Amino acid sequence: MERHFEKELEELKDRLVWMGSLAERAVHQSVQAVLDGEKDMANRVIEEEPAINEMQIEVDERVVKLLATQQIMAGDLRFAIAVSRINGDLERIGDQAVNIAQSALRILRHPRVKPYVDLPRMSEIAEEMVRDSLNSLVRRDVELARNVLARDDVVDSLRNQIFRELLTYMMENSAVVFPAFELILVAKNLERIADHATNIAEDVIFMVVGRDVRHPALDRR
Amino acid sequence: MERHFEKELEELKDRLVWMGSLAERAVHQSVQAVLDGEKDMANRVIEEEPAINEMQIEVDERVVKLLATQQIMAGDLRFAIAVSRINGDLERIGDQAVNIAQSALRILRHPRVKPYVDLPRMSEIAEEMVRDSLNSLVRRDVELARNVLARDDVVDSLRNQIFRELLTYMMENSAVVFPAFELILVAKNLERIADHATNIAEDVIFMVVGRDVRHPALDRR
């Protein structure tokens, strides 16, 4: 029974990591579609997103089943609750990628606004935050999770920089108001992706520190 | 034991409803601060938000404790998981209210942009969605929860209307770009609040329909 439970927890973790890699790829491709004006890539992100939604439903069902059939300890419970929440965050990262892909399709209809210097940087950090938040889950690594939290400020300051730059363009040339506004929405979506990665990192800390404080004997696991 | 468990679930529900009313009031006051240029009200929202955060931590601890000390059925498990997620959504609604209050403080420094016709309407609907999502939880009312989901489209279309209007102002008069942009951010925050209410309604459906399908005998509860 105990062994089966451990195995199922490991499998759920693998599933989340897989979902996370799909979500991260969707983010990357959607931003690429914005930067390169790639219509096909934008459409692909939109088409592939339902796969992430299906995984979310599957993980939710498995968590409920797992909890219902086992007697478990507080540490594992925290883990199961964290899985359930992280699952929701990953699904919403997929939604944000779809929003970005839709912006890409609208931006295509306008002339190019600017060289987009800060947007790829912001996207890169947000993608890394998603990846590292899941790495922190896999390794139960509180330090890495805290490091993800710290990067949220970098994302916010890049966002402000992007806003300021685009608003300046808007003031100088009213013809770019629409495409510049779409880029602002993309930056908002990236900010939200970073927020979801932050939520995941907070859940990892809740899970690990909760166990550490209450069950110091289980630390080594 | 069974009785104690029921009682604790009821108390957790009451706690969420209380948190929800604090979050809803924060949203209402923050938007009021934008509309009326009320600096003191904006500051009050910012000062009072930590109370919501503290409640979130308390509810999380209680859910983990509850799950750890009881043998429970799948339906109640879904309830406990839903409580834990709804808790997170309510805390984030509080965060969004703080963002709106901060926008209010920045907007105050600029001349008034427009009569803000659609913003109060959007806020009203978002606040109602928060309230009804919690009502659907209390009454296990799937119809009401579905009704909340349906209203998300109304919010999105109001948001688009507000965007269009403000972007037109920006194009006509570059002097209003900054305050009009702050109002766009407020509309984005309200959209996100409606999204959190939608998440809550989805959790209620997950919880109730899951139980109905698997435990039809418990329907009446």
CATH assignment of the domain containing B92: 1.20.58.220
pLDDT in tens, A17-52: 999 999 999 999 999 999 999 999 999 999 999 999
pLDDT above 70: percentage of residues in chain A: 90
φ/ψ region of A37 (left if φ > 0, alpha if ψ in -120 to 50, else beta) reads left
The pLDDT tens digits for A193-209 are: 999 999 999 999 988 88
Question: What pTM did the predictor assign?
Answer: 0.86
Residue A51 is part of which domain span?
2-218
Q: Chain A partners of B67 at a C-beta cutoff of 8 Å?
A: 67, 77, 81
Query: Average pLDDT over chain A, rounded to whole?
Result: 88
| Mean pLDDT along residues A106-135 | 90
C-alpha angle B189-B192-B197 in degrees, rounded to nearest 5 = 130
- For residue B21, give every residue at least 6 positions away whose Cβ sits within 8 Å of its Cβ, in sequence order, or none: none
- HEC string of B129-193 equals HHHHHHHHHHHCCHHHHHHHHHHHHHHHHHHHHHHHHHHHHHHHCHHHHHHHHHHHHHHHHHHHH
Q: Which of A64, A81, A210 sits opposite B84 (nearest CB)?
A: A81
- Amino acid letter, residue A19: M
Taking the CA of residue B168 and the nearest CA in chain A, the distance in Å comes to 9
The count of structural domains within chain A is 1
Q: How far apart are CA B129 and CA B24, in angstroms?
A: 10
pLDDT value at residue A70 = 61
The predicted-structure confidence for B96-152, as pLDDT tens digits, reads as follows 999 999 999 999 998 888 767 799 999 999 999 999 999 999 999 999 999 999 999
Label residue B116 left, alpha or beta by phi (over 0 means left) and psi (-120 to 50 means alpha).
left
- Which residue of A77, A163, A205, A209 is the best one to mutate when testing the B interface, meaning the one whose CB has the most B CBs within 10 A? A77
φ, ψ for residue A161, nearest 5 deg = -65, -45
Minimum distance, in Å, between the CA of residue A135 and any CA atom of chain B: 22
Total residue count of chain A as it appears in this document: 221
